[in-house]
Amino acid sequence: MQYTKLGNSDLTVSRICMGCMGFGEAGNGQHSWTIDEEHSREIIKEGLELGVNFFDTAVGYQSGTSEQYVGRALRDFAKREDVVVATKFLPRTQEEIRQGITGQEHIERLINTSLKNLGLDYVDLYIYHMWDYETPLYDIMEGLNRIVKEGKARYIGISNCFAYQLAKANALAKKEGFPKFVSIQGHYNLIFREEEREMAKLCAEDNIAMTPYSALAGGRLSKRPGETSKRLEEDSYAKFKYDATAQQDQVIIDRVADLADKRGVSMTEISLAWLLTRVTAPVVGATKLHHIQGAAKAVDLVLTEEEKNYLEEAYVPHKLVGVMAQNTPAAAKQEHVWSTGSQKIVTK
């Protein structure tokens, strides 16, 4: 495993971040295909043995059960100081807004809930899961400043935002003496490269870490025609993101398969090796042991310029999909993509 600093923080992270969205009680949340605690623990243990020290979850994953599984496993298998734990919080709900709960109070409630789920005193990275168009930015940044000062989070990151929003937030933080966002978790992979337009340039200039999700496009970049999985069959949200461009994307997926054959490695290794040339640490989901094993191998695979060009040249621009397409000012009062589900939110 290789390690690097996470942007402008002093956190040393593995080049592969284990994405924990696939862990949690199946059906108790957005996904039906998640795996139980026993299998989650096996994968987390294997990841640790392979040198993975960076784990990403969220309060919205399977009603908090992802955080619970991750927290218990890390307490059993690792020393707290040896791992970097990231979790994410959601925008205020319309109910909270009606109740008069401020952005700061909302952040305090959700970090407390996450810490209880994880069984931890603090998280290393607290991530703003999607832009809250109903809450003033100052309220969000001041709320995050408070929890950093309280020692509940060491650093803050952001996910699912535009480059102008990240620049605006960090400019406000600089002006007010608040912590800045040190990382961005956006949707980025070989078949969805829209982050290269502006976000990647901003991150390079300001040393903001890119830790993209959907690194393998929900498994599409790791499977040959005819191969399937429970997730590929049941993940309706991933279908919503990728089905419309499946024909043009298949050209690139076929090139990944071709290159994997030529190099004698897996498609996972090729796809991630390409992404690792452009980002700090991709967030790689794993629901089977070989998923994390393949991801770890990708760190040592070096692609030639010709190979990278072969993978890149067939790409055509894509429309925004997923959270970025759905989470708009016009849709802000509607039900969010993610929710905290059935869990009880800690108020103190």
pLDDT of residue 337: 74
Residue 17's pLDDT band (boundaries 50, 70, 90)?
very high
Stretch 260-281: mean pLDDT: 97
Q: What is the pLDDT of residues 110-147, one digit of tens each?
A: 999 999 999 999 999 999 999 999 999 999 999 999 99
- Mean pLDDT across the chain: 94
The amino acid present at 16, given as its one-letter code, is: I
The β-bridge partners of 156 are: 126, 181
Nearest to 122 by CA among 90, 89, 87: 87
Q: 130-141 as b/e, with b when 16 or more CB fall inside 10 Å?
A: bbbeebebebbb
Asked if residue 265 has pLDDT above 70, the reply is yes
- Which conformational region is residue 341 in: left (phi greater than 0), alpha (psi within -120 to 50 degrees), or beta? left
Residue 209's pLDDT band (boundaries 50, 70, 90)?
very high
Stretch 78-105: mean pLDDT: 96
Q: Crossing angle for the helix pair 267-276 and 305-312, nearest 10 degrees?
A: 100
Our CA dihedral for 95, 112, 149, 135, rounded to 10 degrees, sits at -10
Instruction: Specify whether the CB–CB gap between 255 and 9 falls below 8 A.
Output: no
The share of the chain scoring above pLDDT 70, in percent, equals: 98
Stretch 243-265: mean pLDDT: 94
Q: What is the largest CA-CA distance in the chain?
A: 60
Distance of CA 242 to the CA centre of its chain: 17
As a whole number of angstroms, the distance between CA 271 and CA 311 comes to 9
Q: What is the pLDDT of residues 140-189, one digit of tens each?
A: 999 999 999 999 999 999 999 999 999 999 999 999 999 999 999 999 99
Backbone torsions φ then ψ of 254, nearest 5 degrees: -65, -35
As a whole number of angstroms, the distance between CA 16 and CA 13 comes to 8
Residue 317's pLDDT band (boundaries 50, 70, 90)?
very high
Tell me the range of 21-35, 228-242, 286-300 where mean pLDDT is highest.
286-300
pTM (two decimals): 0.95
DSSP classification of residue 84: E
pLDDT of residue 86: 98
- Which conformational region is residue 156 in: left (phi greater than 0), alpha (psi within -120 to 50 degrees), or beta? beta
Asked if residue 238 has pLDDT above 90, the reply is no
Instruction: Specify whether the CB–CB gap between 56 and 66 falls below 8 A.
Output: no
Asked if residue 234 has pLDDT above 70, the reply is no
pLDDT of residue 243: 82
Helices (H), the chain: 37-49, 65-77, 94-99, 103-118, 137-149, 163-176, 199-206, 230-234, 236-242, 246-263, 267-276, 289-298, 305-312, 323-326
More reliable by pLDDT, 44 or 243: 44
pLDDT of residue 332: 87
Residue 232's pLDDT band (boundaries 50, 70, 90)?
low
Residues annotated catalytic, as ranges: 61
As a whole number of angstroms, the distance between CA 173 and CA 255 comes to 43
